[in-house]
A and B are shown apart, each in its own frame.
Chain A
Amino acid sequence: MKLLRDTWLVYLRYLGLFIRNPAWVAIGVLQPVLYLILFAPLLKSISASPGFPRGGAYNVFVPGLLIQLGLFGAAGVGFSLISELRYGVVERLRVTPVSRLALLLGRALRDIMSLLIQSLILILLSLPFGLNIHLGGLLVMLALIALIGLFMASISYACALWLKSEDSFAPLIFTATLPVLLLSGVLLPLTLASEWLRRVAAANPLSYAVDAARAIFNDHMGDASVTKGVAIMAVLAVGAVAIAARNFGRAVS
């Protein structure tokens, strides 16, 4: 009960900051939109090639973009935390009886909300290009994005609390995210990949999220890959939350 109340209060603080500066939603959605306009048309010509999944270029590409949005959109949230560490905000909150888990969840909730708004914008913008999705699929997709957001935001906050400096945080987070992204088949399906690349990708949990997303957009909601992708991301999110919440409870020098 106290955890829920505290989470809500922390969420409201960051929601207030978000509302003061909603331009971030537009900036966040800009990159995937550029992919949509400048890169997706290239896929049309190869979508007929052997190995390319069924469903048309946009139903293959947009799910990947959504996963990418979840991953990169949440990867950078640690930057704001580093500036708060510098201003003493985290320290001040840690001296109150607020739940340490709430300090993380309240923030992550705001980040997830921002991601979901961006995802909806992206999906809406893709509809004219021929994207198909029904309500049930949309809801599962948003849940999957929320889990990826929670996972990635927690990792990002944990790293920020650990490194306490933008100079080391930025290279770490972006260097670590890029291979995860490339090995997940976000841009082009891994069915096009060679055998060794597919094996490496199989070890990347995010590739299961991408598989799940593509199955959802191909109207294969009952597909085992959907349950698998959601379950894997849920487990990862819980683990990341546990690590990050512990970091919030630890001494911040």
Chain B
Amino acid sequence: MTATDLLGADAAVTVIEARDLRRTFKSRGGDVEAVAGVDLTVRAGEIFGFLGPNGAGKTTTLRMLATLPPPSGGEATVAGYDLRRQPDKVRENIGYVGQRGGTDAQVSSRSELVLQGRLYGMAKAQAQERAAELLAVLELEDAADRQAGTYSGGQRRRLDIGIGLMHRPRLLFLDEPTTGLDPQSRARLWVEVRRLAGAGTTVFLTTHYLEEADALCDRLAIIDHGRVVVEGSPDELKRQVAGDLVVLGVDGDAEAAMRLLQAQDFTREATLDEGTVRLYVDRGEAAMPAILRLLDSAGLPLQTIALSRPSLDDVFLRQTGKSLRETAP
């Protein structure tokens, strides 16, 4: 038992616990298993990402956890309630922002927010107050009474998220929240999601953007063909792949440099290519000072040094045998 287990009891509260979750649907060619036994644990307050190519089963899993299609098999507890037996209780405690949003072009954001709040049982005044609060936070005040059809993509998406947050859910589901957004809107949305998590809301999102999963998520699961292939923090996952890569440009006897570094404990593998030494090491940031010291004392002058870390794509490649960049649209 570690100190975090003892001290950080709150951090260990699970918000989603899924075991062997399955979803099969019928098609002309027979039964298709869209989700083929997913196990998941999502803890309170974290941003949990579901990364995978299109058709991997991420959206189906998210929608199942949000009470939409009933699972064909398996068990799940969401926000403290059993998904199969108490879907109404689950609904009261979650917010859901679907891939397609949730508003049509003719409504204004204020009216949609108020309606949403009232559907969760809020009194009119209470819903109006909360709507005004969210419109301010999401910077939609100027557009609040205009039809949503006149909004920019980013504004529309912020409205969708506002709708999901109206009743202050403990857990928010975001299905591909930034797909189709321009880079600025995407960056703004990331800030918003981080702020939410900072305020204690657990966020469960799906994405097929590697950068997004890497930059935004505390932990993530990579899903392919309806199964979770690996789960962990982005750093943990990347470390599992091959370690970090340190590329050294040596002025002089590169071979001597390689032999010297190859003998060190932190080196997993070293290669030499025309004056360039490539070192695979466990933790690049810790190895670099040692490398500098060693070469300096051996009198081998260094021209350049660069550290590159494996990307989530490398993780994906290793786990599934294909690159996510190739499979993404």
B106 touches A95 (CB 8 A): no
Q: Is A87 an interface residue (CB 8 A)?
A: yes
Chain B residue with minimal CB distance to A97? Answer: B91
Tell me whether B120 and A97 are in contact (CB under 8 A).
yes
**B119, A93: Cβ atoms closer than 8 Å:** yes
- Which stretch, B2-10, B61-69, B130-138, B214-222, touches the partner chain A? B61-69
Chain B proximity of A42: nearest CB distance (Å) = 40
CA distance A17 to B105 in the complex (A): 10
Q: Are B119 and A98 in contact (CB under 8 A)?
A: yes
- Rounded to whole Å, the gap between the CB of B68 and the closest CB of chain A is 6
Q: Which of A12, A83, A91 is within 8 Å of B104, CB to CB?
A: A83
Size bracket of the A interface = 20 to 34
Query: Of B88, B99, B121, which one neighbours A88 at CB under 8 angstroms?
Result: B99
Once A9-B118, A13-B115, A88-B99 are accepted as A-B contacts, the answer to whether A94 and B104 lie under 8 Å apart by CB is: no
How many whole Å from A128's CB to the nearest CB in chain B?
36
Give how many A-B residue pairs fall within 8 Å (CB-CB): 69
A223 interface residue, CB < 8 Å from B? no
- Given A9-B115, A16-B107, A95-B67 contact (CB < 8 Å): yes
Bound CA–CA A251/B72 (angstroms): 12
Identity of the chain B residue whose Cβ is nearest the Cβ of A13 in the assembled complex: B115
The complex places the Cα of A171 from the Cα of B69 at a distance, in Å, of 29
Which residues of A from 201 to 224 have beta carbons under 8 Å from B?
Answer: none
Contacts A89-B103, A98-B119; is A16 near B111 (CB within 8 Å)? yes
Is B94 close to A, CB under 8 A?
yes
| Residue B80 CB within 8 A of the other chain | no
Tell whether A134 is near chain B: CB-to-CB under 8 Å: no
Encoded as 1 (CB less than 8 Å from any A CB) or 0, chain B from 74 to 99 comes to: 00000000000000100110101011
Determine the residue in chain B with the shortest Cβ distance to A90. Answer: B102
B134-176: which residues lie under 8 A (CB-CB) from chain A?
147, 163
How close is A136's CB to chain B, nearest CB, in angstroms? 38
> How far is the CB of A181 from the nearest CB of chain B, in Å?
30
Identify 29 residue pairs between A and B in the complex whose beta-carbon atoms are under 8 Å apart, listed by A's number. A9-B115, A12-B115, A13-B107, A13-B111, A13-B115, A16-B107, A17-B106, A21-B106, A83-B104, A87-B100, A87-B104, A87-B105, A88-B99, A89-B102, A89-B104, A91-B68, A91-B98, A91-B100, A92-B101, A93-B102, A95-B66, A95-B68, A95-B96, A96-B120, A97-B120, A98-B119, A251-B68, A251-B70, A252-B68
Q: A83-B104, A97-B121 are in contact. List 14 more A-B contacts (CB 8 A).
A: A13-B115, A20-B147, A21-B106, A87-B101, A87-B103, A87-B105, A91-B100, A91-B102, A92-B96, A95-B66, A96-B119, A97-B91, A251-B70, A253-B25
